[in-house]
Structure 1
Amino acid sequence: MNKIYFTADLHFGHSNILKHSPKRPFSDTVDIVAHDEWLLDLWKSTVDKRDTVYILGDLIFLKSENARHLLEKLPGQKFLIEGNHDGSIRAYKNYFKEVYQIKEMRFKPSVAPFLKEDLCVVMCHYPMVTWNQKPRGSIMLHGHSHGKLDDYNALSMDLRFDVGIDGSLANLRFLTLEDIYNAATEKIKQYDCNTFAEYAQNNYRSEVR
């Protein structure tokens, strides 16, 4: 079965990111060339050409020819949700199936048999406090924060998860749809809920629908 992946904040070619992401390989030497080779190897060893990848922003910091050369090497059906550092990437839209600001998806058990119910997600580079269908059990996926909101997300009642590579959930890897589902399921079970809709009805009653 083809897999569905989520990632964010890879920052290919951005040497400054290594100063702020101490968990990443080569952050101690600020070797962006070695860092990018590690990222590329991670992508290629994880993603098959038939897989789908949702990239929640901040993908590449490279000049035009280098950016094209890199994008040609990245397997998978790529969907980009733009981040604050993706302005120049619009010149390479043909390397993506689609480019969005915000993307909503409904994943069904018929496509992903491990699902016990439909999984509705809202994807945006930026973390959101409220989002479409939240009171009905929709899940919010974001990047941008590089793991700095992990504790906040964990303590919050919201079903919101940082899929960025620096976050504790991803922990320097790509997340699968099953990873997302398992993380959300684990959270609602802490409150003795069996479905995302039940959890939302119990905890988001005051929110606008």
Structure 2
Amino acid sequence: MNRVFVISDHHFGHQKIIDFESRPFASAEEMDDYMIRQWNAVVAKNDRVFHLGDFSFYNKEKTKAIVEQLNGQKFLILGNHDRGRSKTWWLDAGFDEVSEYPIVYESFYILSHEPLYMNKHMPYVNIHGHIHSQKYEGLHYFNACVEHFDYKPVAFEDIRNSLAAKEEQ
């Protein structure tokens, strides 16, 4: 059975993110290699991964070389650092699908880069990135940034289970 994963904010090639987020790497190259290994440790060839933005700071050639190393079908929802490049640029870089806007998954989960405003009366869950090591409290938000999952995409069933466990508390 093919699995579905979610992840956000790799910032491949972004040396300064190491200091901004206290990532445990000496260089962007070391970070990139680790993140590729972590991705492939959990994602199989036929799995699907929703990347919630801020994927790469490299040019198209280097970005494509990274995308080609990553297992799974890759769906990119553009983040604030991705939007300077066209949808076609990202497709040419190897993504299977690209969305400029948030998408609704399974009629209940809103996948976006930036967290969306969710009031307590809304029944939906916003799975997002953008805020890195910060977290919003409550049942309406799930932060999929790499910092929370040792740089591994998180399985959608694990997200669902963690939200159900929160609801029971």
2:150 & 2:117 partners in 1: Cα distance?
23
TM-score (norm 1): 0.73
Partner of 1:105: 105
1:36 & 1:144 partners in 2: Cα distance?
18
Which residues of structure 1 form unaligned runs of 5+?
107-118, 191-209
2:14 & 2:168 partners in 1: Cα distance?
39
In structure 1, give the amino acid aligned to 2:78. E
Which residues of structure 2 form unaligned runs of 5+?
none
Q: Does 1:92 align with 2:90?
A: yes
- In the alignment, is the contact (CA less than 8 A) between 2:90 and 2:98 conserved in 1? no
- Decide which structure has the larger Cα Rg and report it: 1
2:145 & 2:64 partners in 1: Cα distance?
23
Aligned ranges 1:129-208 → 2 under 5 Å:
129-130=117-118, 135=121, 137-148=123-134, 150=135, 153-154=136-137, 156=138, 158-167=139-148, 170-190=149-169
In structure 1, give the amino acid aligned to 2:90. Y
The structural deviation recorded for 1:135 is 4.4
In structure 2, give the amino acid aligned to 1:88. R
Aligned length: 165
Partner of 2:20: 20
Q: Secondary structure at the match of 2:91?
A: helix
RMSD: 1.9
TM-score (norm 2): 0.89
The structural deviation recorded for 1:137 is 2.6
1:97 & 1:183 partners in 2: Cα distance?
28
